[in-house]
Amino acid sequence: MLSGFMLAFREGLEAALIISIVLSVVIKIDRRDLTVSVWLGALAGVVTSLLIGFGFFRAGLELEGASEELFEAFTMLLAAGILTWMIFWMQNQAGNLKSEVENKVNQSNGRTQIFFISFLAVLREGVELALFLLAAGFAGSSRSILPGALLGLAAAVLLGFIWLRSSGKLSLKRFFQVTNILLLLFAAGLVALGVHALIELHWLPAVVDPLYDLSFLLPETSVPGTLLSALFGYRSSPTLLEVVAFWGYLVSVLLIQAKNKTPATND
């Protein structure tokens, strides 16, 4: 449930913030007649996202055996890749998000443009969320993913409303910094689980299987083990290649982030 909540809250909040910014600009320029286009675009984005998510889900159900395992591996690795891109994008662009959305709205001339600004914002976050939840379902208990996601979306809508009512003065910088760390660990777990699935298919070598066994200390069936498995891809007896994949991904992304934060020096 926690992974579903975290993913839905983060993705839902980004969409809610964009919609809130669009609404605030529309109100600011005294074009309240455009608010209907904003809500219709958001609703269309939600419906389209649900249809695409349902398509992902049905595609996974129709596969069996090796094809199913390959689909799971591909989904988890793809979700990890998109999460990584999202983390880097938010790190570099979060400070300009409000001004960019405001510029787009100010440059729009009518209802159609406003509709598509809202539609594309919600659709992008919705499709990403559908993929992330599908991957999270493969990583942990799929039954608890949906309730957690619904709670996360509700919390995101509430915070977006609070942000709008506060006239955009509420700072969310710290929130995105914390969730970036959690999403980075979640993505690392997806990479390790994707590699595990490929090892099960004999597409990759295990190298050492298992590298260690912590089942006596923290079994995957325990409450903490289940939570860690759903959030960060924990396995009590992983192979060497899975451990290398997890830490190799994590260290690589952290090094790239540190390099991007280093201010350029003038020779």
Full-model pTM: 0.80
Give the C-alpha separation, 140 to 144, whole Å: 9
Higher pLDDT: 191 or 138? It is 191
For residues 173 and 120, give the distance between their C-alpha atoms in angstroms, rounded to a whole number.
23
Computed from CA positions of residues 147, 71, 201, 243, in that sequence, does the dihedral angle turn out positive or negative?
A: negative
Nearest CA-CA partner of 180 in 256, 259, 246, 88: 88
Q: Per-domain residue ranges for the chain? A: 2-261
What per-residue confidence (pLDDT) applies to 267? 39
With beta carbons less than 8 A apart as the criterion, state whether 83 and 190 touch. yes
Q: Is residue 179's pLDDT more than 50?
A: yes
Whether residue 210 is preceded by a cis peptide bond, meaning omega within 30 degrees of 0, is yes
37 or 136: whose pLDDT is higher? Answer: 37
Least confident of 62-66, 115-119, 173-177: 173-177
Per-residue model confidence as pLDDT tens digits over 201-217: 999 999 998 999 998 88
At 1-46, the pLDDT tens digits run 677 888 888 888 888 888 888 888 888 878 788 889 999 999 999 9
Q: Which residue has the tokens 């662009």?
A: 93
